[in-house]
Amino acid sequence: MALTVDDARRLALSLPEAVEQDHHGRPSFRVAGRIFATLWEADQMNVMVDQPGILTAVQAHPDACTEFMWGKRLAAVQVRLSAADSGLLSDLLADAWERKALLDTSRPSARRARYR
């Protein structure tokens, strides 16, 4: 089932300590001050998973996922909301959230329950 911007926003903000902030005129979703996703266009969310995660998502879901380059760097998987389902986007967001949350060494445990 196709997702809307409101669905994507709800999924991103459902993660622990996730907040929404402006990022150059676009909504970004952050944990511990680090961006884990952005709403890039009306039908696109960039999710900052690691490179293997980007490549896996693109290969497994070519109708919904494409590589997103930032300069010369593979930076995110771009998810087309109209072609994605909530399971796919939730999993990608959780992986990106965990990647950024774990960079905060001041927190005793940033891992979500599903990763324990």
Whether the Cβ atoms of residue 44 and residue 96 lie closer than 8 Å to each other: no
Could you list the pLDDT tens digit for every one of the 116 residues in the chain?
A: 789 999 999 999 999 999 999 999 999 999 999 999 999 898 999 999 999 999 999 999 999 999 999 999 999 999 999 999 999 999 999 999 999 998 765 555 444 433 22
CATH code of the region 5-106: 3.90.1150.30
| Contacts with 103 (C-beta within 8 Å, 6 or more apart), sequence order | 32, 34
| Region for 113 from its dihedrals, namely left if φ exceeds 0, alpha if ψ lies in -120 to 50, beta otherwise | alpha
Scan for tokens 């690691």, then name that residue: 50
Confidence (pTM): 0.87
Q: Where are the domains of the chain?
A: 5-106
pLDDT recorded at residue 111: 43
Q: Which of helix, strand or coil describes residue 25?
A: coil
- Name the pairing type of β-strands 73-80 and 26-31: unpaired
